[in-house]
Structure 1
Amino acid sequence: MKIGNQFGTPLIKASGKLIAAGFILFGLTACGGDDVGKVSLGLFTTKDVIIDARHDPKLPGVTCHISRIEANLSLADPSDMSISCRQTGPISAQDIAGIDKSKNGEIIFKQSLSILFKSLKVRRIYDAENQTLLYLSYSTKETEGSHKHALSTVPLYNTGAWQASGVPVQ
């Protein structure tokens, strides 16, 4: 006696292939070359703190570390993040000359965080008066009445860019 029907086996095989493809795709998206750390928030949770290192594409002497919550297999949609940017190499006057100096600055990094149209963006803004680079990380989706954001600064003091401005280095 045969159990099942002629339609069950192909359907099971097709759904198995879709599940396998999903695991492969999930595995590939989790393997970023910029991952620095991953900390579990506990034994009975699927949430982790992910720490990424991102280099400013126009200022290779600046590295930003971004921490955020990753909620695998969870319907929660956390938007909290933190950013810390530091000078990790030389910054020249030519580097500064090549960046957007408008009040809006420019987006230097963008990453989708959910299928619900939420993304994490990092924007660089130049504060000419204080000769400081501002790095603003923010979520594009409002959560609990707030767009989550964080700010970090990189002063140009003692760099080639500061000296080029005509301000003497002491």
Structure 2
Amino acid sequence: MKHIPAIAAALTLLASATTAEQVGQVGVDWVGNDIVIEAVQDPKVPGVTCHLAYFDRSVIDRLSNGNWFEDPSNSSIACRQTGPITIGDIDRSPDGESVFSERQSLILKSIRIRRIFDEANNTLIYLAHANELTQGSAKMSISTVPLYTPPPAN
């Protein structure tokens, strides 16, 4: 009975987690390795969509090279305005907040997207990076979405 609040909190977190929609998949070699492209909507900033590309290893590659349970940390991100942007209650601190996370290994590695608000330049910054429990990762990609209002039409 004492675990019910923790389980309920975990289920609520999973239900509200941002999901990605696979929009493309490109085969890169004869063994079945692919580059997967996913669209991720910013859950707190309607009107912004990020496209995340990452490497997905094939079964043949996993068997021949070992390292069965993980994909490489490489990823790329591009974010754009895809509708009217509404800045809601977002974290405005320098380290920003997590927008999305997806596992790249059984337990040790995930690809994450963080949003940082550059208030001085009126820009949203999206950073895609790997989170590796063992050594971290310097592999990252960045994209920005400027927030500007066009001048009124005469």
The number of aligned residues is 126
Instruction: Work out the CA distance in 2 between the residues paired with 1:113 and 1:80.
Output: 10
Residue 141 of structure 1 deviates from its aligned partner by 2.0
1:10-159 equivalences under 5 Å are 34-43=21-30, 45-73=31-59, 74=62, 75=66, 77-92=71-86, 95-96=87-88, 98-141=89-132, 146-158=137-149
Higher Rg: 1
SS of 1:133's partner is strand
Q: Which residue of 2 aligns with 1:23?
A: none
For normalisation by structure 1, the TM-score amounts to 0.67
Taking only the aligned residue pairs, the percentage that are identical comes to: 44
Which one scores higher on RCO, CA 8 angstroms, separation ≥ 6? Answer: 2
What root-mean-square deviation, in Å, do the aligned CA atoms of Structure 1 and Structure 2 show?
2.3
Segments of 4+ moved more than 6 angstroms: 142-145
Q: Which runs of 5+ in 2 are unaligned?
A: 1-18
For normalisation by structure 2, the TM-score amounts to 0.74
Instruction: Work out the CA distance in 1 between the residues paired with 2:28 and 2:85.
Output: 37
SS of 1:140's partner is strand
Q: Which runs of 5+ in 1 are unaligned?
A: 1-31, 160-168
